[in-house]
Amino acid sequence: MAYALKTWNDFKNYQNTCYRNYLYASEGLRVMGSTWSVLAPLKGLGDDVHLMGGEPHAASTAGTFPDESREDIVAAETAGLGFHSCSYLKLFTGEVVRDKIAITDGTIKDGYPKPDLIWTTHLCSQHSKWYQEVSRRLGGIPMYAIDMIGGGNAEKDPKIVNYLSDQIEEGIRWLERVTGREFSDELFIKAARNEIKVLVLWGNICALNRHAPAPLDERRLIALFPPAVVDRTTDETVQLYQGLLKEVKHMVETGQSVVPDQRYRIVYFGIAHTYGHPEMARILRDAGAEIVASVYTFGTCGNFRGIVDGKWSWDPLDPAWVDELDLSTRRKTITELVKIVLGWPTWQGVRSYWALESMARAMITEYKADGLLLAPSRSCETDFRNGYIAMQRIFKSEIPTIEYDSDQVDVRKMDLPGAQRKTELFVHLMEAHKRRSA
């Protein structure tokens, strides 16, 4: 019997509350930007900082309001954004253009809430340009973008770690200037430890899917990591993920799963494309095939051991290690944050084909996969579409492998029937392999 997660509602409530606070805050600071940024420095300004992260907001809006999302994307294009640009970017900017915003609790609010500042990152060629455009459209919002130069095992390169740390130190001085607030190292350090802890806890939760049956499926994984993305700096988030880890451990001990019928275990590389994902999941589920590991849901806001002796390891980090971290000064705290963020698998694979392939090989092995499903997103530069082409060349002779193109939120860019046919073929291929090896 399928297991129903007890902590599910707590996660949904937390996400909704974060967004509602951003929309309706009568005091404090509204901050928007990529949630792939280090967030703890913002909390050095106080507990009343409300966050709106571009990617999770766009993804959840597309899931909650498909029709609104299409309108948003078209509005952004009508306002001049390119057809081939990132569709998260267009959905997000489209809301600004339409002067309305939709959030996960079902609210559609007229009048776009203007942020006080933008704190974001730059890695692919358009990441921070997203917020340049939003800032311009909202009349010039102060904006600080951090150059997240990375890829491969960048977190082990002191030159890169120092470069990022210097930018964040400079950014903290900028935050003080632009808000007129005094920066509290005490609040910052507390938020930083929470941030790192949540990332490590999420890694531990994901790693439990190595068991058979895997306790969680991709749909739950997608839904459970947003709190880590939206605001992972609070005590409440730490408690949420500690609670979830405890519950999933119990599921493993008792052999339970949210989807008990798991004849085939799939490793998935690709962004969780809102459109088409349920259709693919249905085809897989009918055949008893489940995505048990995914670089996007695991590695967008989660940390693992990473490259060890030249090879990738999806082993989780010990949460107790976070408690031991020396965060006694601002610089030490920034450095640890930088290392943890540069260590995100999703970052590491963006500009490094060898890291991407190494993590795919490790995931296939560690998660005992029966198949590798690749779904590059047509409008996401960070999704490293070329890596997927090379991965087919490498893995198709070792394990059933299929690739279909997707798009994170733009329905027009996905050939749904074509993707369904490929997914059906993928299922048949896994069945054939299993028969052969039986």
Task: List contacts with other proteins (CB under 8 A).
Answer: 79-82, 84-86, 118, 122-126, 128-133, 135-136, 140-149, 159-160, 162-163, 166-167, 170-171, 174, 178, 350-351, 353, 376, 378-379, 381-382, 384-386, 388-390
Please name the helix (run of DSSP H) or strand (run of DSSP E) that holds residue 276, with its range, or none.
Answer: none
Which residue, 29 or 205, has its beta carbon nearer to other proteins? 29
Output the smallest distance, CB 275 to other proteins, in A: 17
Output the smallest distance, CB 13 to other proteins, in A: 34
Which residue, 122 or 211, has its beta carbon nearer to other proteins? 122
DSSP 8-state code for residue 115: P
Output the smallest distance, CB 409 to other proteins, in A: 16
Bridge partners (DSSP) of residue 109 are: 101
Token output for 170: 């400079």
**DSSP conformation letters of 72-85:** HHHHHHHTT--TTS
Output the smallest distance, CB 82 to other proteins, in A: 3
Determine the Cα–Cα distance for residues 46 and 263; give it in Å rounded to an integer.
49
Determine the Cα–Cα distance for residues 418 and 402; give it in Å rounded to an integer.
12
Buried residues in 424-437 as b, exposed as e (16+ CB within 10 A): bebbebbbeeeeee
Residue 198 contacts residue 237 (beta carbons within 8 Å): yes
Buried residues in 172-205 as b, exposed as e (16+ CB within 10 A): bebbeebbeeebeeebbbbbbbbbbbbbbbbbbb
Output the smallest distance, CB 81 to other proteins, in A: 6
Output the smallest distance, CB 159 to other proteins, in A: 5
Which residue, 79 or 212, has its beta carbon nearer to other proteins? 79
Output the smallest distance, CB 269 to other proteins, in A: 13
Determine the Cα–Cα distance for residues 115 and 52; give it in Å rounded to an integer.
9
Determine the Cα–Cα distance for residues 71 and 77; give it in Å rounded to an integer.
10
Output the smallest distance, CB 130 to other proteins, in A: 8
Which residue, 149 or 416, has its beta carbon nearer to other proteins? 149
Please name the helix (run of DSSP H) or strand (run of DSSP E) that holds residue 357, with its range, or none.
Answer: helix 353-366
Which residue, 315 or 357, has its beta carbon nearer to other proteins? 357
Residue 267 contacts residue 193 (beta carbons within 8 Å): no
Which residue, 57 or 127, has its beta carbon nearer to other proteins? 127
Output the smallest distance, CB 23 to other proteins, in A: 23
Output the smallest distance, CB 329 to other proteins, in A: 19
Determine the Cα–Cα distance for residues 155 and 122; give it in Å rounded to an integer.
16
First-to-last CA distance in the chain?
A: 27
Which residue, 268 or 314, has its beta carbon nearer to other proteins? 268
**DSSP conformation letters of 182-250:** PP-HHHHHHHHHHHHHHHHHHHHHHHGGGSSS-S--HHHHHHHSHHHHH---SHHHHHHHHHHHHHHHH
Token output for 207: 């790693």
Which residue, 75 or 201, has its beta carbon nearer to other proteins? 75
Which residue, 60 or 128, has its beta carbon nearer to other proteins? 128
Output the smallest distance, CB 14 to other proteins, in A: 30
Token output for 349: 């694979």
Which residue, 24 or 83, has its beta carbon nearer to other proteins? 83
Which residue, 195 or 407, has its beta carbon nearer to other proteins? 407
Determine the Cα–Cα distance for residues 134 and 149; give it in Å rounded to an integer.
23
